[in-house]
């Protein structure tokens, strides 16, 4: 089995025993296929803002199947991170940025070929407060051998699942998004959006009819503090979902099911941090099926949704009220089952 190993402590990529170190010698950057470029803006008082970046060019080269061989891991990007130099304080997004040199966070984008079956992350540099290098993995292949991604922590990885290949994500804290037609996905001790602050607007994953979604201990921490109806954690568009242990501490809907989705949630834990919204529910179904058992917790009287489930079946809306809504400790759902996915 071929493995792709990422060592965050030294930014080295290993694949099939091939070591790719960073060059220690000086290089004439003007001779690069992706030469440096610069943009500069001068203010009326003579102050300047300068942006240094790389400007990639194909220059007649064959990229895919040539410079980038098929069946090998390749890095989608080139050269140093973009650098911004300002000799005066500027305002960016309403925030004052002092004069100085700033470099965008380093991101390594990798298209993962079918020849790689296991990605191991050994992390000694990244942390919650200083994430360092981040990685974007795109899985667009069709191999019948699942791809296992292990140990990517502290929001260091984003996974784009576009191909029909099955993916397993273990002991990982990062992002995951699928495309329609994507293959099966398995989560084990995984967090999506974990450690995200409540002020972060981050959508949860959408699972499609092409996918069987299974997992043990899945934590999804996405949402919006300003509008609890935004960014649901799971959107199921016709997928089959089976989860043993599902947790979230954000207020947006925990599950939205449409298009004859079928979901089984064994042991969920939802935690509310905002006041109750009349008529709200953590689980919303439209012509879909759900089996669920778990606990909804809040620590302040008046918090928590008023319903367990809001369901629309064949155009008829109904809901399951939460008897303990508004108390000061939470409510248990012993078992809920609704079969509305029959087309």
pLDDT-wise least confident of 73-82, 163-172, 259-268, 273-282: 73-82
pLDDT-wise least confident of 104-118, 155-169, 313-327: 104-118
pLDDT bin (cut points 50, 70, 90) of residue 260 is: very high
Residue-level pLDDT at 44:
86
* Percent of the chain residues past pLDDT 90, beyond the cut: 38
Q: Which residue has the higher pLDDT, 21 or 110?
A: 110
pLDDT bin (cut points 50, 70, 90) of residue 68 is: confident
Residue-level pLDDT at 13:
34
Per DSSP, what are the bridge partners of residue 332?
295
CA distance 337 to 124: 45
With a cut of 90, say whether residue 333 has pLDDT above it.
yes
With a cut of 70, say whether residue 335 has pLDDT above it.
yes
Residue-level pLDDT at 223:
66
Query: Per mean pLDDT, which of 33-37, 163-167, 270-274, 329-333 is the most reliable?
Result: 163-167
Q: What does the block give as tokens for 89?
A: 């304080």
With a cut of 60, say whether residue 258 has pLDDT above it.
yes
pTM to 2 decimal places: 0.72
SS3 content of the chain, % helix, strand, coil (to 5): 0, 50, 50
Residue-level pLDDT at 157:
84
Average pLDDT, the chain: 79
DSSP, residue by residue, 98-142: -SEEEEPPPEEEEE--TT--EEEEE-SS--SS---SEEEEEE---
Q: 3-state SS string over 59-98?
A: CCCCCECCCECCCCCEECCCCCCCEEEECCCEEECCEEEC
Provide mean pLDDT across the span 166-176. 91
Residue-level pLDDT at 11:
32
User: For the segment 43-57, what is each residue's pLDDT rounded down to a tens digit?
Assistant: 888 888 888 777 777
Q: Residue 29 phi/psi, 5° resolution?
A: -65, -25
Residue-level pLDDT at 197:
45
Q: Which residue has the higher pLDDT, 250 or 159?
A: 159
**Between the CA of residue 81 and those of 11, 55, 152, what are the distances in Å?**
14, 12, 22
Provide mean pLDDT across the span 89-113. 75
Q: What does the block give as tokens for 323?
A: 């008897």
SS3 assignment, position 31: helix
pLDDT-wise least confident of 80-89, 294-303, 318-327: 80-89
CA distance 335 to 7: 44
Residue-level pLDDT at 107:
72
With a cut of 80, say whether residue 154 has pLDDT above it.
no
SS3 assignment, position 29: helix
CA distance 111 to 75: 7
Provide mean pLDDT across the span 94-122. 79
User: For the segment 174-220, what is each residue's pLDDT rounded down to a tens digit?
Assistant: 889 999 999 999 999 998 874 444 445 667 899 999 999 999 999 98
Residue-level pLDDT at 131:
52
Sign of CA dihedral 224, 225, 226, 228: positive
Q: Which residue has the higher pLDDT, 272 or 150?
A: 150
Q: Calculate Rg over the CA atoms of the chain.
A: 24
With a cut of 90, say whether residue 62 has pLDDT above it.
no
Provide mean pLDDT across the span 298-323. 89
For the chain, give every domain's residue range: 3-18+110-339
Residue-level pLDDT at 261:
96
Per DSSP, what are the bridge partners of residue 97?
90
């Amino acid at each position: 089995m071929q493995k792709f190993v990422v060592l965050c402590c030294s930014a080295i990529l290993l694949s099939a025993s091939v070591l790719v170190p960073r060059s220690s010698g000086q290089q004439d950057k003007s001779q690069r296929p992706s030469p440096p470029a610069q943009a500069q803006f001068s203010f009326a008082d003579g102050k300047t803002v300068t942006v240094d970046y790389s400007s990639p060019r194909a220059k007649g080269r064959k990229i895919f199947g040539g410079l980038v061989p098929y069946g090998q891991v390749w890095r989608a990007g080139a050269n140093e991170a973009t650098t911004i130099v300002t000799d005066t304080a500027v305002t960016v997004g309403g925030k004052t940025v002092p004069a100085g040199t700033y470099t965008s966070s380093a991101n390594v984008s990798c298209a993962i070929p079918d020849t790689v079956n296991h990605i191991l992350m050994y992390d000694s540099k990244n942390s919650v407060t200083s994430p360092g290098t981040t990685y974007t993995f795109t899985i667009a292949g069709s191999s019948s051998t699942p791809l296992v991604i292990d140990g990517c922590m502290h929001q260091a990885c984003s996974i784009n699942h576009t191909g029909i290949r099955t993916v397993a994500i273990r002991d990982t804290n990062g992002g995951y998004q699928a495309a329609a037609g994507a293959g099966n996905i398995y989560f084990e001790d995984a967090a999506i959006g974990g450690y995200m602050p409540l002020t972060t607007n981050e959508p949860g994953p959408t699972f499609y009819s092409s996918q069987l979604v299974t997992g043990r201990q899945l934590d999804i921490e996405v949402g919006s503090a300003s509008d609890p109806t935004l960014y649901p954690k799971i959107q199921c568009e016709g997928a089959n979902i089976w989860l043993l242990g599902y947790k979230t501490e954000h207020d947006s809907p925990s599950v939205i099911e449409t298009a004859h989705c079928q979901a089984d949630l064994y042991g969920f834990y939802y935690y509310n941090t905002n006041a109750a919204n009349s008529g709200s529910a953590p689980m919303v179904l439209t012509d879909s099926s759900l089996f669920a058992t778990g606990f909804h917790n809040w620590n302040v009287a008046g918090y928590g949704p008023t319903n367990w489930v809001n369901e629309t079946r064949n155009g008829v809306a109904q809901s399951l009220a939460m008897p303990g809504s508004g108390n000061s400790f939470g409510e248990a759902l012993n078992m809920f089952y609704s079969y509305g996915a029959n087309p």
